[in-house]
């Protein structure tokens, strides 16, 4: 019975916050509620409060799956482009970090559109371009198998560099095949 009350209180809190924000938008309230609630300290406090109410720790389910760069090996065609290759995919796929590393660039470039570059701990620097969405922010660390972006059907740009040398297609395929196994 107590858990039902927790959910009800959480729902009421969210509804009240939405109502106050709507009143602020309509000019009924002069207090800038969004500024009061959207500082990082407030958000952290609200998150911790919500988790304590809902006992999220008790509901945690560990899930394991074999994900990684191996899905990138399903490309239908490859062609040389700039310092890397355009890989053609007939279906959409998630793009995962191949190893542990640091996101050194996330943004839009003239030739490769939405692009993410990761400097992996093994010394390789990999650029993934022509992504449809990005899932990581710049200067954040990633672990092997963290989602970094999504690619719909079409071309994905990939470029790998190590020791100031660009990988050819055969080396890229080999790196994709071994990236996950090196972390496990």
Cβ(113)–Cβ(159) under 8 Å? no
Q: Map 19-77 to HEC letters.
A: HHHHHHHCCCCCCCHHHHHCCHHHHHHHHHHHHHHHCHHHHCCCCCCCCCHHHHHHCCE
Q: 43 lies in a domain? A: yes
Q: 107 lies in a domain? A: yes
Cβ(151)–Cβ(95) under 8 Å? yes
Inter-axis angle of helices 2-25 and 40-54, nearest 10: 150
pLDDT in the model for residue 5: 58
Q: 64 lies in a domain? A: no
Judge if 53 and 91 occupy the same domain: no
- pLDDT under 70 in the chain at which residues? 1-25, 28-69, 180-184
pLDDT in the model for residue 178: 81
pLDDT in the model for residue 63: 42
* Tokens found for residue 146: 């963290």
Task: Please tell me the distance from the alpha carbon of residue 85 to that of residue 156, in angstroms, as a whole number.
Answer: 8
pLDDT in the model for residue 21: 63
Judge if 88 and 50 occupy the same domain: no
Judge if 162 and 132 occupy the same domain: yes
Task: Please tell me the distance from the alpha carbon of residue 83 to that of residue 111, in angstroms, as a whole number.
Answer: 11
Judge if 96 and 156 occupy the same domain: yes
């Amino acid at each position: 019975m107590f858990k039902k009350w927790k959910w009800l209180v959480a729902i009421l809190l969210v509804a009240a916050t939405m109502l106050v924000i709507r009143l602020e938008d309509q000019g009924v309230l002069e207090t800038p509620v969004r500024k009061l609630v959207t500082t990082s300290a407030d958000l952290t406090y609200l998150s911790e409060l919500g988790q304590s109410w809902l006992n999220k720790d008790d509901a945690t389910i560990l899930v394991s799956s074999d994900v990684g760069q191996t899905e990138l090996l399903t490309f239908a065609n490859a062609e040389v482009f700039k310092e890397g290759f355009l890989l053609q995919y007939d279906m959409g796929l998630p793009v995962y970090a191949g190893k542990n590393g640091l996101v050194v660039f996330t943004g839009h470039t003239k030739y490769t559109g939405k692009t993410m570059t990761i400097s992996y701990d093994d010394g390789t620097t990999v650029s993934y371009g022509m992504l449809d969405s990005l899932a990581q922010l710049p200067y954040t660390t990633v672990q092997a198998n963290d989602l970094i972006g999504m690619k719909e059907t079409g071309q994905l740009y990939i470029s790998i560099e190590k020791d100031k040398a660009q990988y050819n297609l055969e080396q890229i395929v080999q790196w994709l095949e071994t990236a996950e196994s090196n972390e496990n």
